[in-house]
Amino acid sequence: MKTLILAFVLLGAAPAAFACESVSVGGITVQQPWSRVSIGTQRPGVLYLTIRNDGPADDALTAVSTPAAETPMLHETVVSDGIASMPHVMQVPVPAGETVELRPGGYHGMLMGLTGPLEEGATFPVTLTFATAGEITIPVQVLSMRAEGPECDDGQ
């Protein structure tokens, strides 16, 4: 019963789900892009998404750009020996046939120098540059501060 009540509470608390965008170029598909609401513009925003490589060759995400931030960069959270650090990465490898996630606690886009506050429910475009596939532009959904993953209609 408790589980049932909890399920209803969770349902009630869940914000309206969105039809998460998915854009493909060549063998690369980018999907479920999301970000968190920002507190003003002084702190960096974040970018998460999923990349699928259905092509026959390895590819790599090499750059990210967006009008929402002056200096968007790729980072990776690394937890090693109980210490978390967040080094800048030059690229995110996307091997052939694999799916790579930019997600909490792993690879993520760090949006430094926000040009405006990221407001819940809004979207902003990002352009991802891949070594082989080229550029993919996709709208990113801004979710609540407490979001922990994409919130999509398709149950993802």
Question: Interface residues with another protein (CB under 8 A)?
Answer: 6, 36-37, 39, 42-46, 73, 75, 77, 79, 81-86, 88, 104-105, 108, 110-113, 145-148
Which residue type sits at 7? A
Least Cβ distance, residue 9 to another protein (angstroms)? 9
Alpha carbons 111 and 126: distance in angstroms, whole number: 10
Closest CA to 33 of 109, 130, 129: 109
Partnered with residue 34 across adjacent β-strands are: 48, 141
Select 42 or 56, whichever has its Cβ closest to another protein.
42
Scanning the chain, the segments in alpha helix (DSSP H) are: 2-13
| Closest distance of CB 33 from another protein, Å | 15
Nearer of residues 27 and 109 to another protein, judged by Cβ: 109
Q: Which of 23, 63 has the CB closer to another protein?
A: 63
CB nearer to another protein: give 19 or 83.
83
Q: Minimal distance in Å, beta carbon 87 to another protein?
A: 8
C-alpha distances out from residue 144 to 36, 87, 141, 149, 153, Å: 6, 25, 10, 10, 16
Minimum CB separation from another protein for residue 152, in Å?
A: 18
Provide φ and ψ at 28, rounded to 5°.
-95, 130
Shortest distance in whole angstroms from residue 106 CB to another protein: 8
Cβ-based nearer residue to another protein, 33 or 44: 44
